């Protein structure tokens, strides 16, 4: 009659590999299915009024907080609001900052045409209808929103107003 053979080591390896591939595909499918709602929630989380609390950057190997440096020269900038609108506008509102009119006008003009878009957890801002733009990996943790630059722009930390 038939012989009962033990599975070879190669056969066991193939089975384990097949199981791992099946698990990977299942996990990947689960991530793809879950991602749209997770990223939709992220989009809802970023919409609102924000205050910039730090901008950590690097120059010639030195790390510094450029926002802190700005505040040492213009303390009123601490009162500037960044508005991320549902209609994809990203604006700077300096109206209640207490900054001088010339500074407010210049800052608001810089952001007058800025738009934003979110793809996954990457937020991109652009004033040129995305011909060029700045991209960041974005996360929201409680009342904090963190943007990590994808092209060495540093890390921006915002606090919800």
Residue 135 lies in a domain: yes
Helix segments in 74-118, DSSP class H: 101-110
> For residue 125, is it within any domain?
yes
CA distance 161 to 29: 37
Residue with tokens 């190669």: 10
63 and 141 co-located in one domain: yes
- The verdict on 23 and 80 lying in the same domain is no
The Cα angle at residue 112 between residues 111 and 114, in degrees rounded to 5: 60
Within a domain: residue 71? yes
Residues 63, 81: Cα–Cα separation, whole Å: 25
Structural domain of 14: 9-46
Q: Convert the pLDDT of each residue in 64-107 to its tens digit.
A: 999 999 999 999 999 999 999 999 999 999 999 999 999 999 99
64 with 36, same domain: the answer is: no
Residues 75 and 32 in one domain: no
pLDDT value at position 44?
Answer: 97
pLDDT at residue 45 above 60? yes
Q: Residue 39 falls within a domain, yes or no?
A: yes
What pLDDT does 36 receive?
Answer: 60
On whether both 68 and 88 belong to a single domain, the answer is: yes
Q: How many domains does the chain have?
A: 2
Q: Which of 71, 57, 87, 53 is nearest to 161 (CA)?
A: 53
- The CATH number linked to 57 is 2.40.128
pLDDT digits (tens, 9 = 90+) for 122-132: 999 999 999 99
- Statement to judge: residues 16 and 69 lie in one domain: no
pLDDT value of position 30: 39
- Of the CA atoms within 13 Å of residue 133, those in its CB half-sphere come to 19
Q: What is the mean pLDDT of the chain?
A: 86
> Tokens at residue 112, please?
């007058």
Do 28 and 62 lie in one domain? The reply is: no
């Amino acid at each position: 009659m038939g012989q009962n053979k033990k599975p070879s080591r190669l056969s066991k390896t193939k089975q384990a590999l097949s199981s791992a591939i099946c698990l990977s595909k299942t996990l990947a499918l689960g991530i793809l299915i879950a991602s749209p709602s997770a990223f939709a929630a992220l989009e809802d989380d970023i919409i609102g009024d924000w205050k910039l609390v730090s901008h950590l950057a690097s120059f010639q190997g030195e790390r510094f907080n450029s926002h802190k440096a700005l505040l040492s020269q213009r303390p009123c900038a601490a009162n500037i609001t960044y508005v991320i609108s549902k209609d994809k506008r990203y604006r700077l509102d300096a109206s209640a900052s207490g900054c001088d009119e010339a500074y407010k006008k210049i800052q608001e003009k810089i952001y007058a045409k800025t738009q934003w878009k979110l793809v996954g957890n990457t937020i991109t801002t652009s004033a040129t209808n995305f011909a060029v733009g700045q991209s960041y990996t974005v996360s929201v943790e409680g009342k904090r929103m963190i943007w990590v630059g994808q092209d060495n722009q540093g890390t921006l930390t915002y606090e919800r107003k």
